[in-house]
Amino acid sequence: MSINEFENKTGFSALRLNHPNGTSSVEVLLYGAHVVSWAVDGQSLLFVSDKAIFEQGKAIRGGIPLVWPQFGPGQLPQHGFARVKTWTLGEKTIADDVSVQLHLSEDESTLKLWPHKFNLTLTIRLTSQSLHQELAVKNTDDHTFDFTALFHTYFTVDDIKTTKISGLHNVTYLDKVDGGQTKTETNRVIEFTGETDRVYKDGGKDSNPLVINDRLQVTGSSTMPDIVVWNPWQTKAKAAADIGEENFPKFVCVEVGHVNTAVSLSSGQTWQGAHEMKLLK
């Protein structure tokens, strides 16, 4: 069992958490509080592009980018700024499970982009078969602010064309590939035949578990009820320098968040949202 600090091969400061029973591990960068690896029983469960850019100010393609305080495009840069800021290391715990806390607060650069004071705490907890992340947002300003949040998780798959996701039947979603139309999921199992970019409203509240290829279960807290399902497919992957045409079959994004509406957080209040990924077999 251990929590080791080291310099990642990319040059970023990193932490490696190893579970006491030796079956699972996770690697997280202080840059972006970005999980870049999660492995169980020798299986690597997260996709990171071999073309990913590891530079200050650039988002990393793959793993688990943290989207905050803005999902998608808007007044801020795409997906906000939390994923391109360097966080500080907080409390470390080694017991039955292994966990660390990472912290981020406003600075001169964030205040220019988004004029609010805040404290973020990301807790990462590793069990023998699962990875749990909880984001706590505290409003330390003297006025209310709004935000959206998302764990933008890239899961490794053998082939997107044979990938199946269950647990979203009858859930309403926004189809961003089809002009932003609102639809209802009629399939009990989602399969992929082309570019997919959907935001399922309250998909995380469904009584059925969300399962990828009958082997990975994804759940979100009641405060993170929305599910994004995304794959760029061939043309968009080819156009993205940090993905590449050959990489689109290798991953699917299944993302837990609060994105259909904004969270409105009063001065002095704290909001918490979490997700958990569990290997079933």
36 class by beta-carbon count within 10 Å (0-12 exposed, 13-18 middle, 19+ buried) = buried
Residues in contact with 204: Cβ distance below 8 Å, sequence separation at least 6, in sequence order:
210, 219, 220, 221, 224, 225, 226, 227, 256
Q: What is the pLDDT of residue 192?
A: 98
159, 204 contact by CB (below 8 A): no
Q: Is 132 an active-site residue? A: no
Q: What is the mean pLDDT of residues 168-185?
A: 96
Please give the domain boundaries of the chain with CATH numbers for all domains. 2-279 (2.70.98.10)
Indicate if 152 belongs to the active site: yes
Q: What is the pTM of this model?
A: 0.96
User: What confidence tier does 65 reach under pLDDT thresholds 50, 70, 90?
Assistant: very high
Q: What percent of the chain has pLDDT over 70?
A: 98
Taking the mean position of all CA atoms in its chain, how far away is CA 51? 19
pLDDT tens digits, one per residue of 112-131 = 999 999 999 999 999 999 99
Specify the pLDDT at position 265. 98
- Pick the catalytic residue from 152, 185, 258, 275: 152
Mean predicted lDDT score pLDDT of the chain: 95
147 band by pLDDT with thresholds 50, 70 and 90: very high
pLDDT reported for residue 111: 98
Neighbours of 92 (CB within 10 A): 13
Which one is catalytic: 27, 134, 255, 275? 255
- pLDDT value at residue 259: 97
> What is the pLDDT, as a whole number, of residue 215?
94
User: What confidence score (pLDDT) does residue 4 get?
Assistant: 86
